[in-house]
């Protein structure tokens, strides 16, 4: 059953005009007074509304904007418990205590699979309602073989973009024995987790895992068939970005503290995306990453939420895009591209992040005439409809017109 959505005020495609088929996301591109045909779960046609072909059914966008569904390439959604009091204390000026993440680990270990599933389902629904049609989900709050493996099993019920993050922090039972924990992460734990994941990740940071440990985790993961990505340069300068580029990681995430050599390495990497997570800096009052410096150097930039119960508990890509525009000086076009096509690149996905002919029919309709409203009207629920794989999965507040 094909669907024609017509009278679209602005259609962001991230795809060349008039292309017969589109193999992967391109630069930012948008059409005005446009239409779009979805068929069999994919984009079948885009172009001027006046030239639109007929379809089995029709919807009138009434001048609203349509964008590719957001691609959130970095989220930690398998956990139990919450840390609202810790956030309030941090905002009141108390310094961050390292006990925070351990409280989430304890709550996650104590939770049943069903409790983890219910919490993740709630967050996934929240994301979808805000226009996110593809998301990545990490483990990392279990930190035992059994708890990491079941975290990944639960995650894989919701998304194919599942990331093994046994190397998130060193758990309390390995205090003073980082090497012993890395051996576990690269050995028995990896063997139990690899069948349930696509990606391997490591938190490369002072106080977490160093360069050699990160290299070992990524290499072991790759040997088990997983693709590398990394938490890098969040809290201070460090080796994370260099390790990412060496490993040809799909993405180096955070990139808040970069040297010129780090920026050069990303620019010359030929495929390592810098994934910026501005919700974290917002929620921890840290300095934002220098997006303009990365963009000027030609680095591919993605925006993601990093949704997690400690450093950033937003699931909203529109919110993160608005911060990127307001506080990181990205243009509205750059921010939308980074939140769609950029995320697709960070997940090595060619079928999402754009609305070229042949793309998966994942799209979000805004109750606004242009993509700029995501930053122009921050905090306002603008999503009027979401389609995933061609199916209408969110009605938002759009009046039924079909
Ligand atoms: Zn993270």
Q: pLDDT (tens digit, 9 = 90+) per residue, 358-385?
A: 999 999 999 999 999 999 999 999 999 9
Taking the centre of ligand 1 as the mean of its atom positions, its distance from the CA of residue 47, in whole angstroms, is 38
Over 70: is that where the pLDDT of 396 sits? no
286 close to 311: Cβ distance less than 8 angstroms: no
* pLDDT on residue 16: 92
* pLDDT on residue 100: 84
Of 57, 340, 347, nearest to 198 (Cα)?
Answer: 347
Name residues with Cβ closer than 5 Å to ligand 1, which is an ion.
Answer: 306
Contacts of 223 (CB under 8 A, 6+ apart): none
Percent of the chain scored above 70 by pLDDT?
97
Taking the centre of ligand 1 as the mean of its atom positions, its distance from the CA of residue 231, in whole angstroms, is 6
Q: pLDDT (tens digit, 9 = 90+) per residue, 28-54?
A: 999 999 999 999 999 999 999 999 999
Of 317, 320, 273, 277, nearest to 295 (Cα)?
Answer: 273
What's the whole-number mean pLDDT along residues 159-171? Answer: 97
Q: pLDDT (tens digit, 9 = 90+) per residue, 299-353?
A: 999 999 999 999 999 999 999 999 999 999 999 999 999 999 999 999 999 999 9
Q: pLDDT (tens digit, 9 = 90+) per residue, 100-130?
A: 889 999 999 999 999 999 999 999 999 999 9
Taking the centre of ligand 1 as the mean of its atom positions, its distance from the CA of residue 254, in whole angstroms, is 8
Q: Find the range with the poorest average confidence among 84-93, 189-198, 212-221.
A: 84-93
How many whole angstroms separate alpha carbon 380 and alpha carbon 1? 33
Mean pLDDT of the chain: 95
Q: How confident is the model at residue 398 (pLDDT cuts 50, 70, 90)?
A: very low
CA R_g for the chain = 21
How many whole angstroms separate alpha carbon 352 and alpha carbon 361? 8
Over 90: is that where the pLDDT of 401 sits? no
How many whole angstroms separate alpha carbon 351 and alpha carbon 267? 24
Over 90: is that where the pLDDT of 98 sits? no
Taking the centre of ligand 1 as the mean of its atom positions, its distance from the CA of residue 374, in whole angstroms, is 23
Taking the centre of ligand 1 as the mean of its atom positions, its distance from the CA of residue 8, in whole angstroms, is 36
Taking the centre of ligand 1 as the mean of its atom positions, its distance from the CA of residue 305, in whole angstroms, is 9
Q: pLDDT (tens digit, 9 = 90+) per residue, 253-309?
A: 999 999 999 999 999 998 999 999 999 999 999 999 999 999 999 999 999 999 999
């Amino acid at each position: 059953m094909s669907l024609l959505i017509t009278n679209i005020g602005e259609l962001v495609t991230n795809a060349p005009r008039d292309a017969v088929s589109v193999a992967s996301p391109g630069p930012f591109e948008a059409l005005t007074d446009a239409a779009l045909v979805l068929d069999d779960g994919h984009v079948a046609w885009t172009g001027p509304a006046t030239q639109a072909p007929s379809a089995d059914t029709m919807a009138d966008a009434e001048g609203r904007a349509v964008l590719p569904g957001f691609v959130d390439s970095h989220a930690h959604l398998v956990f139990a418990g919450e840390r609202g009091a810790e956030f309030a204390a941090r905002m009141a000026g108390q310094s961050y205590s390292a006990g925070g993440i351990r409280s989430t680990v304890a709550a996650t270990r104590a939770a049943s699979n069903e409790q983890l599933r219910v919490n993740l389902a709630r967050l996934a629904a929240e994301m979808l309602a805000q226009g996110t049609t593809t998301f990545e989900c990490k483990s990392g709050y279990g930190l035992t073989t059994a708890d990491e493996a079941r975290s990944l099993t639960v995650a894989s019920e919701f998304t194919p973009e599942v990331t093994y993050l046994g190397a998130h922090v060193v758990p309390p039972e390995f205090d003073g024995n980082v090497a012993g924990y890395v051996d576990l992460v690269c050995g028995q734990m990896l063997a139990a987790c690899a069948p349930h994941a696509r990606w391997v990740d490591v938190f490369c940071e002072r106080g977490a895992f160093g360069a050699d440990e990160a290299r070992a985790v990524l290499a072991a993961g790759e040997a088990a068939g997983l693709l590398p990505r990394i938490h890098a340069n969040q809290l201070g300068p460090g080796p994370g970005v260099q390790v990412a580029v060496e490993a040809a990681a799909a993405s180096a995430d955070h990139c808040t503290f970069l040297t010129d050599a780090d920026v050069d390495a990303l620019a010359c990497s030929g495929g390592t995306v810098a994934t910026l997570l501005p919700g974290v800096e917002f929620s921890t009052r840290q300095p934002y990453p220098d997006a303009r410096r990365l963009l000027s150097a030609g680095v591919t930039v993605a925006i993601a939420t990093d949704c997690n119960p400690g450093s950033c508990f937003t699931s909203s890509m529109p919110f993160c895009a608005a911060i990127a525009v307001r506080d990181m000086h990205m243009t509205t076009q750059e921010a939308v591209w980074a939140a769609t096509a950029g995320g697709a690149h960070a997940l090595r996905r060619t079928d999402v992040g754009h609305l070229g002919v042949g793309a998966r029919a994942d799209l979000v309709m805004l109750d606004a005439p242009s993509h700029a409203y995501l930053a122009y009207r921050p905090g306002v629920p603008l999503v009027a409809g979401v389609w995933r794989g061609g199916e209408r999965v969110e009605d938002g507040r759009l009046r039924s017109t079909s």
